Amino acid sequence: MYSGKGQNSDYLAINPLGQIPSLTDGHVTLRESNAILIYLAEKYGDLALYGSTAEQRADVNQWLFWESSQRQPLLTSLLADGVGHQLLPELIPAPQSQPQWGSQQVTHQLAYLENALLDRKWLTGQTLSLADYSVAAMTTYFRVSEFPYQSYPNISAWQLRLSDQVSWQKTEHPMWR
């Protein structure tokens, strides 16, 4: 079965694991999405998305670590068959069932995010941050995976706010709209 990893020798020279994403900028090579976000914000941004104080960056980092350790592994497992089929229908068969959005692990993580957005416009407060982009990345696949938007109004509203951002629109692929 296709592994979904970049396995050609040129890519493996950049990322020996063959995973996406990777970034090469001069002599710097990074292989983890959140490390890439932080690096780009620090090197090329004005830190508005990452925060100018240790406290602001800690808040963003908390969400980045949660996304990579809790949320992404869970959603990757949940959405792999459907997303894989969307991307490579000739290699990956259509899933036999829809994702189990009601499982205890999934609802626990979704409730955490839903509650965090109860009184905030964005994950770290009233200002868009790297945390929003990182955590929202997997929501790209929700529309084609029968996500129960009605059960998560705060997540739904947050995702709509993010989809209104020009930066999000410029990178969104039509397949996932």
Query: Which domains, ranges and CATH numbers included, belong to the chain?
Result: 54-176 (1.20.1050.10)
Per-residue model confidence (pLDDT) at position 3: 47
CA distances for 89 relative to 65, 129, 176, angstroms: 32, 34, 15
Per-residue model confidence (pLDDT) at position 70: 96
Local confidence pLDDT in tens for the 177 residues of the chain: 334 446 788 888 888 888 889 999 999 999 999 999 999 999 998 899 999 999 999 999 999 999 999 999 999 999 999 999 998 899 999 999 999 999 999 999 999 999 999 999 999 999 999 999 999 999 999 988 999 999 999 999 999 999 999 989 998 888 777
Per-residue model confidence (pLDDT) at position 4: 45
Per-residue model confidence (pLDDT) at position 6: 60
Model-level pTM? 0.89
For the record, the structure tokens of 132 come out as: 């929003």
Looking at the chain, list the stretches that DSSP marks H as alpha helix, in order from N- to C-terminal side.
9-14, 33-44, 54-66, 72-87, 104-116, 130-136, 153-163, 166-171
The single-letter code of the amino acid at 95 is P
E-strand spans in 113-155? none
